[in-house]
């Protein structure tokens, strides 16, 4: 059976955001929900920075950042080449390595490659800061870092012309918000490939009037920000 866009290439969904905002939990919950509710075949690309830190028992130096970003990008490409895959869920992208390289080392040399990877995504989900900060091994710098990281992520996405949707809430509500953001894209691809029957089931679930577009400039209100945010607006 072909992938849902009829080309054999899966939809690529990037999940990015500051530390301790539930990115890994959301990626796996979203994969489970899309498989269970819609019969979609999903794969999750885990955050390579976390793997690197666990293997090395430390955080990376400035000169190691580029290698980590490139390896993460390589893993995304390798996972996306799996046959018959419908949705590829990326638990962060090289964007996050580039943001931390800028924040910690005043180094923006990773951004061109990170931009290319991010622009290749079909959807970018930005996790809101509404979850409590929880210490988790070597990667966690502290709650004071979350707002500056969030601001840099938004700035890079805006500068690169990447549309994003903010996902907020906790547990099932957060997963449902991510599905709501993904649903229009799945429907769009479904119009090109109706024979699978997957999108007819998707359209049958929660059919309703169009959702409002993003209108706020600064808040994390899920009722306005979880829908795709035009990249050209001021933040």
Predicted pLDDT of residue 186: 85
Contact 17, 150 (CB under 8 A): yes
Tens digit of each residue's pLDDT (9 = 90 or more) over 113-126:
999 999 999 999 99
User: What pLDDT is recorded for position 108?
Assistant: 97
Q: Note the pTM of the prediction, 2 decimals.
A: 0.81
- Residue 31 reports pLDDT greater than 90: yes
**Of 172, 151, 157, nearest to 220 (Cα)?**
151
Helix or strand or coil: residue 45?
strand
68 pLDDT more than 50: yes
- Of all residues in the chain, the percent with pLDDT exceeding 90 is 68
Helix count and strand count (H, E) for the chain: 9, 5
CATH number given to 11-225: 3.40.50.300
Cα 83 from Cα 230, distance rounded (Å): 32
pLDDT tops 90 at residue 44: yes
pLDDT of residue 210: 42
Q: Could you report the per-residue pLDDT of 134-147, keeping only the tens digit for each?
A: 877 665 577 889 99
Q: Is the pLDDT of residue 188 over 50?
A: yes
Helix (H) or strand (E) segment spanning residue 118 = helix 111-119
């Amino acid at each position: 059976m072909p992938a849902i866009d009829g080309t054999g290439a899966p939809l690529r969904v990037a999940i990015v955001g500051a530390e301790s905002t539930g990115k890994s939990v959301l990626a796996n919950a979203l994969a489970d929900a899309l498989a269970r509710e819609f019969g979609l075949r999903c794969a999750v690309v885990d955050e390579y920075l976390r793997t690197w830190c666990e293997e090395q028992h430390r955080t990376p130096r400035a000169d190691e950042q580029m290698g980590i970003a490139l390896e993460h990008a390589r893993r995304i490409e390798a996972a996306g080449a799996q046959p018959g895959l419908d949705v590829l869920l990326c638990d962060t992208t090289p964007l996050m390595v580039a943001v931390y390289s800028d924040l910690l080392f005043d180094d923006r040399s990773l951004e061109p490659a990170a931009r290319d990877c991010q622009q290749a995504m079909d959807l970018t989900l930005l996790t809101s800061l509404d979850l409590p900060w929880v210490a988790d091994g070597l990667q966690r710098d502290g709650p004071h870092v979350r707002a500056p990281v969030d601001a840099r992520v938004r700035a890079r996405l805006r500068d690169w012309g990447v549309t994003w949707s903010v996902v907020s809430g906790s547990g099932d509500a957060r997963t449902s918000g991510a599905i709501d953001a993904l649903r229009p894209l799945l429907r769009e691809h479904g119009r090109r490939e109706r024979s699978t029957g997957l999108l007819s089931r998707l359209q049958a679930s929660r059919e309703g009037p169009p959702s409002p577009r993003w209108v706020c400039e600064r808040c994390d209100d899920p009722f306005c920000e979880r829908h795709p945010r035009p990249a050209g607006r001021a933040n």
